[in-house]
Chains A and B, each alone.
Chain A
Amino acid sequence: MESLAKQKIIEDLLPQKFGKAGKIWVVILLAFCTLGFVAYCMQLSKGLVVTAMRDYVSWGIYISNFVFFVAISLVGSLITAVLRLSQAKWSTPLTRIAEIIAVSAITFASIIIVVDMGRPDRFYNLFIHARLQSPIVWDVIVITTYFFVSILLLYFPLLPDMAILMKFKDKTGMAWLNKMYAFLGSFWKNTKAQIHISEKAVNILSITIIPVAFAIHTVTSWLFATTYRPGWDSTNFGAYFISGAFLVGAGAVVVAMYVFRKAYHLEKYIQNEHFDKMGKVLVMLALLYLYFNVNEFLVPAFKMKKSEEEHLMGLFTGEFAPVFWFAISTAMIIPILILITKRGRKPLPAFIAGLLVVIGSWFKRYLIVTPTLLHPFLPMHDVPEAYKHYFPTWQEWAIALGSLAGALLIVTLFARIFPIIPIQETITEIEEHEMSITKI
């Protein structure tokens, strides 16, 4: 590969300073984070009474948000591990986007759990009084594990790029950034031995992350399924959650692909072909999730047990029907209809479909968590009327939106500091491609 072309790739993919739009975007995200922080301070000082959560609904939008974050984090394993192990070379430009989404999502999944606990100073109780029999403890273990696996999977492929960043330190323009690059990857000399160790490590991580990723969302589903309640009492929950997680994660990647492509002019690297392939992946995942949804709702609806009737009818035609049908349509049906055609898999329609998947999936998580809590098998006597309904307070909305903004801020800042598309891997792949053409 000619050094001129190599130079061009490096220049294209080096992290760039924020433009005007980038700065506005960061300010908006910071504003949401600040609002969330203020609301959290209020919750800290007054207690969980500032939320709408009461004796019936004790898991509101915080836990919906937690499930959403855990779901979206699964994308790291999908793009990085599954596609890498299946030798799908086309996914290379998407791996880092997927991994940073995974890391930011899992970080905020952990934070939102602490928010939901009410008193963060009691967090240590979770460890000193942990019962190994409890799925909550399994969740703590598996989230911590997944976080470290994701960090390592982000770090190893970043090492060769770190050497490039140090080489072009005058372009980054900030001394502290260069110091950080040096701290993280000054030892990378791109030797054969180093490349071999790094590739081996990435392969091991790709294999490790798949069962861990399955475990993280299966365990999250068991938080619900091991509880005997209408809507949660299901053996289908593990597979139902995992299929939904892959769908929302893939949707988030498509959205991020489009935004980064537009913001950093990466059309040469994130091509229409990537949208086409990710579009197909999305259709497959949406169909799979739709299948699990049919199972999840049709079977109990067919039996319509008295205890489940109120919950199911609440979703189909009752209080939650607008949200339910909105979530089913936006997370699955409309994206399938958009992406099923080749024209629909062009960047803009694919972006819209991805966005719909993400929005619909958030509401889907809300529907999994909250309506069930409003219909216990053994209702309490003489509870205040307000306990029988749930609508989040502004503090809850602010904290939930703040956490979503925080996750987006991590992704945004990461893209400012590190190359969002692996530089060295892209160069190597192009070189390998050119060599194979020369051989022919």
Chain B
Amino acid sequence: MLVSESRALGTKINKRHMKKHSKIFLSAILLQLLVNAVFAQAEKNSLSLSVGYFNSNNQTQYLIARAKSKIDGKFQMIPGISVSFYISTETPENLLGKAVTNDKGEALIFMPPKAKDEWMKSAKVGFLVSSASTKLFDEAKGSFDLTKAKILIDTAADKKITATVMELKDSVWTPVKAVDVKIAIKRLDADLNVADAPTYATDSLGIASADFKRDSLPGDAKGNLTLIAKVEDNDLYGNLSAEKVVPWGKSFKYYSEFDKRTLFARRGKSPMWLELLAYSIVVAVWGVLIYLVGQIKKLKKLGVN
């Protein structure tokens, strides 16, 4: 009896404790949810902004800013970020322009003529990019310090290609040693190496050489190929490229099947073999049928006679 009573008392106490604890537990969860909700609203992802300099064929200069952020443990390119581009300093007079990042997280601007004075001031020039704070991302900044450089491409006998890289030092173009240069053939969507090695290092004269080993490569109608020498993502010089057209390819003439005699062509343009085959069968079979109709006439004649 006593045992059972003490057990019942114990159960009552446990229940009372549980009730008390469960209230505390539920309150803690609610508090946590509230805190999470408040912080979730305030929490923003940090944005990483970088800028790259591009000089295409020593003519067109442009800058590309890239916006990325770490989301769910992975870096993802962020579209829709408005980026401001500056030269030298982040001041309104040095603003080169603004652009919005695309699906790849890239925003591009061409160097405007108004940047000429600032560009000419020194052999080295800095580029800055910045984006304002948004609902999802903090404000971000990026920069690139460029040492002015150029790349030249030339060809010699025996289909030898030379690329020369020079930097501007005290208003003088000076060859640069040990720069990796990609020497390739420009194709539709990518570059094709001229030989086995993809890149070549410059020597003390700033020259990198490669032998053209792509015989019978289809070129344009005249057999022209476009050679390209590139310095890619260099910490000092950015991205430089130079192109040269050479008649080293095989002449390629585009042959259009449009409006030719094919199985998929329009009416009246069926292949000759099909027409011959089809019409011969039709003529042969209908020839037999016409002959047999003639036989009916013959039967009629025989009947009348």
User: A205 to B295, alpha carbons, bound, how many Å?
Assistant: 12
User: A22 to B293, alpha carbons, bound, how many Å?
Assistant: 35
| Interface range, B side | 20 to 34
Beta-carbon contacts under 8 Å, B265-305 to A: 265-267, 270-271, 274-275, 278, 282, 285-286, 288-289, 291-293, 295-296, 298-300, 302-304
* Pair B288/A138 contact, Cβ less than 8 Å: no
* Pair A131/B285 contact, Cβ less than 8 Å: no
* Pair A187/B270 contact, Cβ less than 8 Å: no
Note all chain B residues with C-beta closer than 8 A to A235.
none
Note all chain A residues with C-beta closer than 8 A to B274.
132-133
Asked whether A204 and B282 contact (CB < 8 A) given A132-B274, A186-B303, A189-B302, the answer is: no
* Pair B278/A132 contact, Cβ less than 8 Å: yes
Output the least CB separation between B140 and chain A (Å). 38
Output the least CB separation between B259 and chain A (Å). 14
> Residue on B with the closest CB to A202?
B292
Check B263 for interface membership: any CB of A closer than 8 A.
yes
User: A141 to B284, alpha carbons, bound, how many Å?
Assistant: 13
> Residue on A with the closest CB to B277?
A132
* Pair A138/B278 contact, Cβ less than 8 Å: yes
Output the least CB separation between B273 and chain A (Å). 11
* Pair B270/A197 contact, Cβ less than 8 Å: no
Please tell me which one of the listed residues A138, A194, A204, A208 contacts residue B302 in the complex, with CB atoms under 8 A apart: A194
Check B264 for interface membership: any CB of A closer than 8 A.
yes
> Residue on A with the closest CB to B267?
A131
User: A208 to B286, alpha carbons, bound, how many Å?
Assistant: 10
Check A25 for interface membership: any CB of B closer than 8 A.
no
Check A359 for interface membership: any CB of B closer than 8 A.
no
* Pair B263/A197 contact, Cβ less than 8 Å: no
* Pair B267/A197 contact, Cβ less than 8 Å: no
Output the least CB separation between A388 and chain B (Å). 30
Note all chain B residues with C-beta closer than 8 A to A129.
267
User: A133 to B275, alpha carbons, bound, how many Å?
Assistant: 9
Output the least CB separation between A77 and chain B (Å). 14
> Residue on A with the closest CB to B288?
A208
* Pair A152/B289 contact, Cβ less than 8 Å: yes
> Residue on A with the closest CB to B285?
A145
User: A67 to B292, alpha carbons, bound, how many Å?
Assistant: 29
Output the least CB separation between B274 and chain A (Å). 6
Note all chain B residues with C-beta closer than 8 A to A188.
299, 303
* Pair B267/A194 contact, Cβ less than 8 Å: no
Output the least CB separation between B269 and chain A (Å). 9
Asked whether A133 and B265 contact (CB < 8 A) given A187-B303, A212-B285, the answer is: yes
User: A205 to B291, alpha carbons, bound, how many Å?
Assistant: 11
User: A186 to B302, alpha carbons, bound, how many Å?
Assistant: 11
Output the least CB separation between B291 and chain A (Å). 8
Check A193 for interface membership: any CB of B closer than 8 A.
yes
Check A149 for interface membership: any CB of B closer than 8 A.
yes
User: A231 to B84, alpha carbons, bound, how many Å?
Assistant: 57
* Pair A197/B288 contact, Cβ less than 8 Å: no
Please tell me which one of the listed residues B266, B282, B292, B300 contacts residue A201 in the complex, with CB atoms under 8 A apart: B292
Check A198 for interface membership: any CB of B closer than 8 A.
yes
Note all chain A residues with C-beta closer than 8 A to B296.
155
User: A198 to B296, alpha carbons, bound, how many Å?
Assistant: 8
Asked whether A132 and B275 contact (CB < 8 A) given A145-B285, A204-B292, A205-B292, the answer is: yes
Q: What are 7 of the A-B contact pairs (CB < 8 Å)?
A: A131-B266, A131-B270, A132-B278, A148-B289, A159-B299, A187-B299, A208-B289
- Could you tell me which A residues sit within 8 Å of B by CB distance? 129-133, 138, 141, 145, 148-149, 152, 155-156, 159, 186-189, 191, 193-194, 197-198, 200-201, 204-205, 208, 212
- Could you tell me which B residues sit within 8 Å of A by CB distance? 263-267, 270-271, 274-275, 278, 282, 285-286, 288-289, 291-293, 295-296, 298-300, 302-304
